[in-house]
């Protein structure tokens, strides 16, 4: 649905700031489901899990478009909009096309009393340069899952092909595992970046995974060796025809046997010819970017927007 001229002229008056407690959650979630740029991070229950209910929003008219505003007071006690963990992209989610006029109206509607604004916009979000706002480009990697194994295999790097073949020879088929088992494996096999995260963020992840599982939006998948030992595991969100590689872990034995390559390949193979994408959720870290690209995933750009 396109906005008529008259609708555009009064756009600012139709965008309302709403505290979390008065948001119509049913209409909000319907907007996220129906948005042409919808992502699971925008659902009210997802935001509640990662923000502990501390988010407000901008809403266009009758929830045709919404802009979540997570907030805290960690900036010298002043209210600020921040970007939470476990939600790569937020910004405006909309059932109508996002043009510059609409995006500009949303940006200008962010209340002035938020001392600082820092949020990552979704990949469909139009970038609008207006005073006080700055943008930093960030990179994601997304694989458009093809229709056949031959096409999938053709996109792999030589190293990825080698590791997948190694896994096919030495590992069992992938299988769903319990969220409890995944979390136990996750905690026992930390990666360097995660060691800096405190208990609060691990507990937040734990709460989020159980909510995703309960709502049938996500599941943990693992791969074992022939002795039955778990070598690698990941948690996948399934939403909006998109498989999101939310978080994953492997152990030393899994790295030797190509377990993560085999795990990703096996998941993707199950979604051939179904119109899905596999979203790697990153990365700006060169080594991870090379790993994701080795599956044939392409760069997708999105922006970190700040206002000071």
Q: What is the CATH number of the domain that holds 60?
A: 3.40.630
Q: Which of residues 230 and 77 earns the better pLDDT score?
A: 230
Q: Is the pLDDT of residue 10 over 80?
A: no
Residue 227's SS3 state is coil
Q: Is the pTM of this model over 0.85?
A: yes
163 pLDDT exceeds 60? yes
> What contacts 24+ positions apart, CB below 8 Å, involve 75-80?
75/115, 75/116, 78/115, 78/116, 79/113, 79/114, 79/115, 80/114, 80/115, 80/116, 80/117, 80/118
pLDDT of 278 higher than 50: yes
| Tens of pLDDT, residues 90-131 | 999 999 999 999 999 999 999 999 999 999 999 999 999 999
Q: Which of 108, 125, 126 is nearest to 117 (CA)?
A: 108
Tell whether 211 and 114 lie within a shared domain: no
Rounded mean pLDDT of 278-289?
A: 92
The answer to whether residue 198 is domain-embedded is yes
Mean pLDDT of the chain: 93
Domain stops at, among 86, 112, 131? 131
Q: Is a pLDDT exceeding 90 seen at residue 308? A: no
For residue 84, being part of any structural domain is answered with yes
Q: What percentage of the chain reaches a pLDDT higher than 70? A: 94
Judgement on whether residues 148 and 279 belong to the same structural domain of the protein: yes
What is the maximal distance between C-alpha atoms in the chain? 68
Whether residues 41 and 110 fall in one domain: yes
- For residue 249, give the CATH number of its domain: 3.40.630.30
**Do 147 and 280 share a domain, yes or no?**
yes
Structure tokens belonging to residue 240: 């909006």
Taking the C-alpha atoms of residue 140 and residue 32, their distance in angstroms, rounded to an integer, is: 21
Structure tokens at 296: 């044939």
State mean pLDDT over 208-218. 98
- The answer to whether residues 188 and 108 belong to one domain is no
Query: Is 60 exceeded by the pLDDT of residue 7?
Result: no
Per-residue pLDDT tens over the stretch 51-99? 999 999 999 999 999 999 999 988 788 999 999 999 999 999 999 999 9
Residues 99 and 231 grouped into a single domain: no
Residue 136 lies in a domain: no
Sorted by sequence, the CB contacts under 8 Å of residue 228 that are 6+ apart come out as 172
96 and 178 part of one domain: no
Please provide the DSSP assignment of 40-65 as one string: GGGSHHHHHHHHTT-EEEEEETTTTE
Q: What is the pLDDT, as a whole number, of residue 6? A: 37
Pair (38, 108) in one structural domain: yes
Shared domain for 126 and 257, answered yes or no, is no
Check whether the bond before 283 is cis (ω within 30° of 0).
yes
CA distance 189 to 130: 44
Which band of pLDDT confidence, cut at 50, 70 and 90, is reported for residue 195?
A: low
Last residue of a domain, one of 131, 150, 172: 131
pLDDT above 90 as % of the chain: 88
Q: How confident is the model at residue 227 (pLDDT cuts 50, 70, 90)?
A: very high
Q: Is position 306 within any domain?
A: no
- Examine residue 186 and state whether it is found in any structural domain, yes or no: yes
Q: Looking at the structure, do residues 92 and 176 belong to the same domain, yes or no?
A: no
* Residue pointed to by tokens 């051939």: 272
Say whether pLDDT at 2 is over 50.
Answer: no
Same domain, 78 and 163: no
Mean pLDDT of 161-188: 96
- Give residue 283's pLDDT: 84
CB 231 within 8 A of CB 171: yes
pLDDT surpasses 80 at 209: yes
Give CA 97 to chain center in angstroms. Answer: 21
Q: Which two tokens stand for residue 63?
A: 């929830």
Residue 219 lies in a domain: yes
| pLDDT higher than 50, residue 1 | no
Query: Which ranges of the chain would DSSP assign to H, the alpha helix?
Result: 5-9, 11-14, 25-34, 44-51, 100-109, 149-154, 158-170, 179-188, 199-214, 252-256, 259-269, 286-293
Its sign, for the CA torsion 134, 288, 146, 265, is negative
- The pLDDT, as a whole number, for residue 201 is 83
Range of the domain at 253: 141-301
Give the pLDDT mean for 298-308: 95
Question: Is 228 a domain residue?
Answer: yes
What is the DSSP-derived secondary structure letter of residue 119?
Answer: E
Instruction: Work out how many domains the chain is built from and give that number.
Output: 2
> Same domain, yes or no, for 296 and 151?
yes
Give CA–CA dist 95/34, Å, rounded.
6
Is the residue at 109 inside a domain? yes
The residue from 131, 152, 172 where one domain ends is: 131
Look up residue 64 and give its two tokens: 């045709």
pLDDT exceeds cutoff 80 at 3: no
């Amino acid at each position: 649905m396109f906005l008529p001229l008259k609708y555009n002229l009064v756009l600012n008056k139709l965008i309302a700031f709403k505290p979390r407690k008065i948001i119509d959650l049913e209409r909000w979630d319907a907007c996220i489901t129906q948005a042409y740029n919808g992502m699971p991070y925008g659902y009210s229950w997802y935001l509640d899990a990662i923000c502990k209910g501390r988010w407000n929003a901008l809403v266009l008219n009758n929830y045709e478009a919404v802009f979540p505003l997570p907030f805290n007071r960690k900036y010298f006690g002043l209210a600020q909009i921040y970007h939470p963990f476990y939600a790569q992209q937020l910004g405006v989610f909309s059932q109508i096309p996002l043009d510059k006029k609409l995006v500009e109206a949303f940006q200008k509607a962010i209340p002035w009393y938020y001392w600082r604004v820092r949020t990552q916009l979704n990949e469909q979000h139009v970038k609008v340069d207006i005073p006080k706002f700055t943008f930093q480009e960030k990179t994601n990697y997304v694989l458009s899952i093809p229709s056949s194994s031959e096409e999938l295999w053709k996109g792999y790097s030589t190293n990825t092909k080698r590791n997948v073949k190694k896994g096919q020879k030495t590992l069992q088929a992938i299988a769903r595992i319990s969220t409890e088992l995944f979390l136990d494996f996750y905690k026992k096999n930390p990666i360097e970046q995660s060691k800096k995260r405190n208990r609060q963020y691990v507990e937040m992840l734990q709460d989020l995974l159980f909510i995703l599982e309960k709502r049938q939006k996500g599941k943990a998948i693992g791969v074992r060796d022939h002795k039955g030992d778990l070598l690698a595991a990941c948690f996948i969100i399934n939403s909006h025809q998109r498989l999101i590689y939310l978080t994953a872990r492997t152990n030393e034995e899994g790295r030797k046997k190509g377990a993560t390559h085999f795990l990703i390949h096996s998941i993707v193979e199950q979604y051939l010819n179904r119109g899905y994408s596999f979203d790697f959720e990153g990365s700006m870290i060169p080594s991870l970017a090379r790993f994701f690209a080795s599956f044939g995933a392409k760069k997708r750009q999105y922006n970190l927007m700040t206002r000071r």
